[in-house]
Amino acid sequence: MTQSILKESLIKTLNGFKQVLPIILGVIMLVSLSITIIPKSFYESIFTGNKIIDPLFGAIIGSAATGNPITSYIIGGELLAQGVSLLAVTAFILAWVSVGLVQLPAESLMLGKRFAITRNVVSFITALIVAILTIFTLSLLC
Amino acid sequence: MLNKILEKISSSWIFFIIVAVLYLILLSVNFPLAKDTFFKFLELLQKIIPVFILVFIFIFLSNLFLDSKKIAKFIGKNAGIKGWLISIIAGILSVGPIYMWYPLLADLKEKGMKESFIAVFLYNRAVKIPLLPMMIYYFGAAFVVVLTFYMILFSIINGLLVDKLLKLKFKKPIKT
């Protein structure tokens, strides 16, 4: 492999990164902002005990929330302990990891607006379906 | 004048400037919260640097070894089952935050990666093997097995749906 090909690939990669750097930094700033602004107690106050509305709320809050998946497990565990249904908690952790409203601007800029919106909408709906199927299957197995 | 300035600034910088303005507003309204947010930003940035380097290496290697023909063969429009499997496994094995992988995926998309495979990759990022023990601790093994099975299955359905929806063309209303 010639040195010129290596140099060409390196320059191409550096130029690409120069373009995405402000987006990445912007997303990290936005994620930090949402983590510090929204206290963990907020998630607990949202659920009402309604079997239909709670899973929907879970998916909506999970979509808007961001951070490490472990955080969603911890919050999910706390919600379960407080009597929130497993269906709502499952929808919450699924939407947390598969839908990203905070990252949506970055996803739109890099992968295309139509793709980003379509993917997130589909992921939101599938989060609800997977949550329902998981709980239904568990009820058959256990 | 403003239009000319905006034309010169790329959309990625506009996004960054909007977020920076949000920080400045927070700084003027609530200094302790702004300080906490800034420290959180530094903490996240520090955690992300290794992933950033990893993604940089992957993009560099893809620029070096992968051309449109190879991309088309493995993860292109006619890749078949191989493409689905590669996207699922790569999504499960990928580390770090989701947004760190956008540059690599954008690069591969430009070279011909099928959009449904991008959706599959991103959905499978929800399946994280190192985090499974933690999930089992909170929700139990049966729950984790069933959920993981459905997540992988629905990543494919997700990819197919995204593909179908992106191919939809909306007819413009006919003016009378």
Across the interface, whether the CB atoms of B103 and A74 are under 8 A apart is answered no
* Rounded-to-integer distance, Cα A54 and Cα B161, Å: 26
Please give the share of chain B, as a percent, with pLDDT higher than 70.
Answer: 90
* Interface test mutation site (partner A, options B10, B11, B19, max chain A beta carbons within 10 A): B19
Closest residue of A to B123, CA-based? A98
* Rounded-to-integer distance, Cα A53 and Cα A2, Å: 61
Per-residue pLDDT tens digits for A23-62:
888 888 988 888 888 877 777 788 887 888 889 999 999 9
Residue indicated by tokens 């709980």: A135
Write down the pLDDT at residue B27: 93
* Rounded-to-integer distance, Cα A123 and Cα A140, Å: 25
* Rounded-to-integer distance, Cα B101 and Cα A59, Å: 23
The ipTM estimated for the assembled molecules is: 0.82
A63 vs chain B: nearest CA distance in angstroms?
13
Write down the pLDDT at residue B3: 62
74-133 in chain A: CB under 8 A from chain B: 74, 76-77, 80, 86, 90, 94, 97-98, 100, 103, 105-107, 109-111, 114-115, 118-119, 122-123, 126, 129-130, 133
Closest residue of B to A68, CA-based? B97
Buried b or exposed e, range A25-49, using 16+ CB within 10 angstroms: bbbbbbbbbbbbeeeeeebeeebee
Task: Show Cβ contacts of residue A29 under 8 Å, excluding neighbours closer than 6 positions.
Answer: B16, B19, B20, B22, B23, B41
Q: pTM for this one?
A: 0.80
A43, A61 Cβ separation under 8 angstroms = yes
Write down the pLDDT at residue B9: 61
* Rounded-to-integer distance, Cα B66 and Cα A121, Å: 31
Count CB pairs under 8 A between chains A and B: 172
- Tell me, letter by letter, the H, E, C secondary structure of chain A: CCHHHHHHHHHHHHHHHHHHHHHHHHHHHHHHHHHHHCCHHHHHHHCCCCCCHHHHHHHHHHHHCCCCHHHHHHHHHHHHHCCCCHHHHHHHHHHHHHCCCCCHHHHHHHHCHHHHHHHHHHHHHHHHHHHHHHHHHHHHHC
Closest residue of B to A18, CA-based? B12
Across the interface, whether the CB atoms of A134 and B22 are under 8 A apart is answered no
Q: Which residues of B touch A138 (CB under 8 A)?
A: 142-143, 146
Per-residue pLDDT tens digits for B40-74:
999 988 888 888 888 888 888 888 887 777 877 88
Query: What average pLDDT does the structure give for chain B?
Result: 86
Domain boundaries, chain B: 11-65, 68-168
* Interface test mutation site (partner B, options A10, A18, A19, A33, max chain B beta carbons within 10 A): A33
Per-residue pLDDT tens digits for A49-105:
788 888 999 999 999 887 778 788 888 888 888 788 999 999 999 999 899 898 899
Q: Is A72 on the interface with B (CB under 8 A)?
A: no
Buried b or exposed e, range B34-72, using 16+ CB within 10 angstroms: bebbbebbeebeeebeeebebbbebbbebbbebeeeebb
Write down the pLDDT at residue A137: 95
B131-135 contacts at long range (C-beta below 8 A, 24 or more positions apart)? B131/A69, B131/A70, B131/A73, B134/A70, B134/A73, B135/A73
Across the interface, whether the CB atoms of B98 and A100 are under 8 A apart is answered yes
- The letter for the amino acid at A111 is L
* Rounded-to-integer distance, Cα A100 and Cα B116, Å: 17
Across the interface, whether the CB atoms of A16 and B103 are under 8 A apart is answered yes
Write down the pLDDT at residue B62: 81
Q: Which residues of B touch A9 (CB under 8 A)?
A: 60, 63-64
Distances (CA, A) of A110 to B12, B55, B99, B110, B165: 9, 15, 10, 11, 19
A110, B12 Cβ separation under 8 angstroms = no
Residue B6 predicted with pLDDT over 60: no
* Rounded-to-integer distance, Cα B102 and Cα B58, Å: 12
Both structure tokens of B107:
């690069």
Phi/psi of residue A66, nearest 5 degrees: -150, 165
Which of B44, B64, B99 minimises the CB distance to A9? B64
* Rounded-to-integer distance, Cα B23 and Cα B37, Å: 9
How large is the average pLDDT for residues B149-167?
95
B135, B144 Cβ separation under 8 angstroms = yes
